[in-house]
């Protein structure tokens, strides 16, 4: 159930130093990544801001998506029934209940587009030279998302702290 995964911008730079492409919704770091790698080198799925707002305004009902999509219903039912947690069959029932009753992030609404986008990812992967090209372009454009830069910005702009050492820290025992 990959559509449930979400990574913060500072994590993007860490995991995207492997030969992969980015798949995600049009928000946060993904918008910045798309600016860096180009829309042809990132897989974006799901509703955009206006669509999300419209769904909320008209009373988003996640159960409708569940009831009308066999794949989605099967996936959620398997999770709720404990198929992935046989020793604790009720382990994920709070999650599935929340998805079906409120689904604040409208994950169920994004599911069909996620599946279609994942098919495009699969198709690209079956073309190794195109996959490799896109993966290398993604890696090359990830510099601005390094954890060092992100942590440095958080430290100075959010936490208002400075490094303990202006250069390399002294050697132990020095």
Q: Does residue 173 form part of some domain? A: no
Q: Is residue 171 part of a domain?
A: no
Residue 17 above 70 pLDDT? no
Q: Is the dihedral of CA 128, 130, 133, 137 positive or negative?
A: negative
Task: Say yes or no: 1 and 39 in one domain.
Answer: yes
Are residues 48 and 71 located together in one domain of the fold?
Answer: no
In a domain, 89, yes or no: yes
Residue 132 sits in a domain whose CATH number is 3.40.50.2000
Together in a domain, 3 and 46: yes
- CA gap 111, 89 in Å, rounded: 24
Look-up of token digits 């918008």:
31
**In a domain? residue 54:** yes
Question: Do 20 and 90 share a structural domain?
Answer: no
* Whole-number pLDDT of residue 102: 95
Q: Can you tell me the mean pLDDT for 5-9?
A: 38
Q: Do 65 and 148 belong together in one domain?
A: no
Answer whether residue 5 is part of any domain. Answer: yes
- Among 3-12, 82-91, 92-101, where is mean pLDDT lowest? 3-12
Cα 32 to chain centroid, rounded: 13
113 and 94 co-located in one domain: no
Note down the domain range covering 76: 61-102
Dihedral Cα 70, 71, 74, 78, nearest 10 deg: -170
> Do 11 and 72 belong together in one domain?
no
Examine the domain organization and report whether 112 and 162 are in the same domain.
yes
The answer, yes or no, to whether residue 47 has pLDDT greater than 90, is: yes
What is the pLDDT of the chain when averaged over all its residues?
86
Q: What is the total count of domains within the chain?
A: 2
Q: Are residues 9 and 45 in the same domain?
A: yes
Residue 174 belongs to a domain: no
In a shared domain, residues 54 and 114: yes
Q: Tokens 């060092």 belong to which residue?
A: 148
Contact, 137 vs 37, CB < 8 A? Answer: yes
Q: Quick one: 18 and 35 in the same domain?
A: yes
**What percent of the chain has a predicted confidence (pLDDT) above 90?**
63
> What pLDDT was estimated at residue 66?
98
* 8 Å CB contact between 45 and 60: no
Domain-embedded: residue 90: yes
Say how far residue 30 (Cα) sits from the centre of its chain: 8
Statement to judge: residues 72 and 147 lie in one domain: no
Is the pLDDT assigned to residue 14 strictly greater than 80? Answer: no
């Amino acid at each position: 159930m990959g559509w449930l995964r979400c990574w913060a911008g500072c994590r993007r730079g860490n995991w995207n130093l492997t030969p992969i492409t980015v798949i995600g919704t049009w928000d946060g770091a993904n918008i910045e990544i798309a600016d860096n790698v180009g829309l042809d080198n990132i897989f974006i799925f799901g509703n955009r801001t206006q669509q999300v707002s419209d769904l909320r305004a008209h009373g988003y009902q996640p159960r409708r998506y569940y009831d009308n999509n066999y794949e989605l219903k099967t996936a959620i039912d398997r999770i709720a029934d404990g198929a992935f947690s046989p020793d604790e069959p009720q382990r994920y029932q709070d999650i599935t209940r929340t998805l079906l009753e409120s689904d604040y992030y409208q994950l169920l609404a994004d599911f069909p587009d996620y599946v279609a986008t994942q098919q495009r990812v699969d198709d690209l992967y079956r073309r190794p030279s195109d996959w490799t090209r896109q993966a290398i372009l993604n890696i090359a454009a990830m510099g601005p998302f390094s954890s060092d830069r992100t942590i440095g910005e958080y430290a100075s702009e959010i936490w208002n702290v400075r490094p303990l050492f202006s250069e390399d820290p002294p050697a132990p025992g020095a």
